[in-house]
Chain A
Amino acid sequence: MLGPGPVQAAQRVRTSARIVIAGAGAAGLAAAARLAAQLDGARITLVDARKEHYYQPGFTLVAAGIKPQSYVVSTTAEYVPGSVELIEERVAEFDPEGKRVVTDSGRALPYDYLVVATGLMLDYDAIEGMEVGMIGRNGMGSIYHSPAGAAATWSALSTFADQGGVGVFCRPATEMKCAGAPLKYTFIADDHLRRRGNRGKAELIYNANNKALFSVPIVHEKVRMLFRDRGIRTNYDHVLRSIDLGRRVATFATPEGTVEQVYDFINVIPPMRAPDAVLNSALRWQEGAWGNEGWMDVERGTLRHKRFPEIFGVGDIAGVPKGKTAASVKWQVPVAVDHLVADIAGRSSDALYDGYTSCPLITRLGRAMLVEFDYENNLTPSFPGVVAPLEELWVSWVMKTMALKPTYISMLRGRA
C-alpha cells in the first residue's frame, strides 16, 4: 500500500526541458511533485481548469454516511509545487506530431515531454433518461458523480434503509474507476438495512455487466460467497441502458434482450471513457474496445506511449489492464517519472510497473477486505500472514478510514 519512498533531492538532474502535465488530479499532481523534486531547471507546467481537488477514494465513505462532503474536497493549488506553473484551463487538443497541447482558450503549449493525466469522463449521457440533477431524488443515487452527488446519494440510501423495497446495484460494461466501489456500496446498503432492522423488508439485486463480479477470479469467488451469505441476488450480463426516473424503472441489456427492473433505490454508475481531447487524438488505442473508449496506448510496464516516446500516460487515462485507482497512480507515477528523468539524463531506467493496485473492499461498516493484485491476477498482499487479503477485517477498515487519505495526500506531495 505504501509506495516507493520520497524523492531524494540529492539526485536532481539539471535540465531546461519543457514538461507539460495535462491534468492536475491525483496522477498529475503526484507527477508534478516528483518531477519538480528530481529536476533542476525544468519548466514544468500543469494544465487543469478545475480549482477543487477531489479525494475520490473517499466518495464511497461520503455516500455511506460515514464522512461529510467536506472530507473529499480541497484545492488543487495547495498541492502544486512552488516551481511548477499551474494554468487553470482545460486541454482542448493534443498535437503529438507538433509536440504541443492547446488549451480551450487557444493557448498553445509546446513541450519536450508530455505527461497525460487527464483522468476519465463519466458518460451519463450514454444512459437514456438519466439526469444528473436528479441524483439523490426519488431513489436514484450515483456515488461517482461528485462530492455533492455522493452526499445526495447518501440521503437517498438512508431513506431506502428506513423504508426498504428493491435496491438495484450495477456497473458499466466499460473500463471503470475503482471496480470495487459498486460492490462496496451494495454491501454498505445491506448493512444499513440490517442496522435499522429493515433487511427483511428489502430485496437487493446486483447486476454484473459480464460473467464476473470482479476481474480477479479468486476475488470474484469470495464476493460471490459473501453476496450469497448476505442474501444479495446476482444477475450476470446485465448492463444499464436506460432509466425512467419518474416511474423508477431501470432497463438493462442482457443476452436475451432488454429487461425492465423496478427499483426503490438504484446506484447509477455511468459508462466511462477518455475525455474528448484524448479520444479525438492520436494518443488513444487505435483499435478494439479501448480504442472506442479512447484510453491511451501506453506500454503497460513503463506507461510510455507506444508511438510517441516522449509522452507518458498515467492514472485513469492509461490504457492498461488493471486498476483505475489511486493505488495504481501511486505505483505508476514513480515508474513513468523515472523513465522520463532517465531520458533527460541520458541513461536508461529499468523501473517497471507490474499492475499493482489495491482495493479496500468494504463488506460492511467496520470491516473490509484489503484486496491487492497485479496485471496477472496474482494477489499481492502487503502484510502477508498478518492481514489476509480475502478476510473481512476491522484492521482493513481502519486503514481505509484512517491511513488512506494521509497516504494519498503524501503521494500528491511526492512524499509517498
Chain B
Amino acid sequence: MKELDPMVFLAVFQEMLGPLLWVLVLLAVAGVAAFVALLVKERTLVSARLVRAELVGLLGGVLALVLMAKVSSSGFTDAGGPADWFLIALVFGVGLAGTTILAYALGGWWRCRCCCARRT
C-alpha cells in the first residue's frame, strides 16, 4: 500500500456496509450532537447519569465484539499477537464510547422531556 487515500477507504466501507454505513455515520453524528447540546444546556456532566451510561456502554463494547466475531467468522481465542489485542481493544473501545455517549444523551434528553412535561 503505497498511499492511503481516504476516498479508497470510503469506497471500501461503502461496499462493505452499503446504506448501513450512512445510518451508522448519521447515528454517530446525531449522538455526538445530542451529547454536546445536552452539555451546553446543562453546563455540567451529571455523574450518576454518566455512570449508568458507562454501564450500558460496557454492554455496547461487548456487543461490538460479538458482532465483529460473527461477521469475521472467527473468535477472540484466535488473537495471536499485539496487533490483534489492539484491534480487540479498538472494537471494544468504539462500542463502549459510542454506546456511552448515546446512552448519556438519550438519558439526559429523556429526563428533560419528562421535566418539561411535568412543568406543563
Contact = CB atoms under 8 A, between A and B. Distances in A.
Nearest to B73: A66
Interface in B82-99: 83-84, 86-87
Interface in B3-61: 3-5, 7-9, 11-16
Contacts of A382: 1
B83 A393 contact: yes
A391 B80 contact: yes
Contact of A397 (B1, B7, B12, B78): B78
B5 A395 contact: no
Given A2-B8, A386-B83, A415-B7, 14 more contacts: A5-B3, A6-B5, A6-B7, A66-B73, A366-B77, A383-B83, A386-B86, A391-B80, A392-B80, A393-B83, A394-B78, A402-B72, A410-B11, A415-B8
Nearest to B68: A398
A416 B11 contact: yes
B71 interface: yes
A4 interface: yes
B3 A394 contact: no
A76 B68 CA distance: 30
A393 B76 CA distance: 11
A366 B4 contact: no
Q: Please report whether the interface of chain A is mostly helix, strand, loop or mixed according to DSSP.
A: loop
Interface string A194-235: 000000000000000000000000000000000000000000
Given A1-B1, A402-B72, A403-B16, A393 B81 contact: yes
Contacts of A391: 80-81, 83
A5 B1 CA distance: 11
Contact of A366 (B15, B68, B74, B87): B74
Contacts of B74: 365-366, 394, 397-398, 401
Given A387-B83, A397-B72, A406 B78 contact: no
B80 A394 contact: yes
A367 B79 CA distance: 8
A92 B87 CA distance: 50
A416 B84 contact: no
B15 A406 contact: yes
A415 B11 contact: yes
Contacts of A405: 15
Contacts of A66: 73
A251 interface: no
A258 B73 CA distance: 41
Contact of B5 (A5, A394, A398): A5
A406 B17 CA distance: 9
A3 interface: yes
Contacts of B75: 366
Contacts of A4: 2-3, 5
A122 interface: no
A409 interface: yes
A407 interface: yes
B7 A5 contact: yes
B12 A403 contact: yes
A84 interface: no
A388 interface: yes
Contacts of B86: 386, 395
23 contacts: A2-B5, A3-B1, A5-B8, A365-B73, A366-B74, A366-B78, A367-B80, A391-B81, A391-B83, A394-B74, A394-B80, A394-B84, A395-B83, A395-B84, A395-B87, A398-B74, A398-B87, A401-B72, A407-B12, A410-B12, A413-B11, A416-B8, A416-B12
Contacts of B78: 364-367, 394, 397
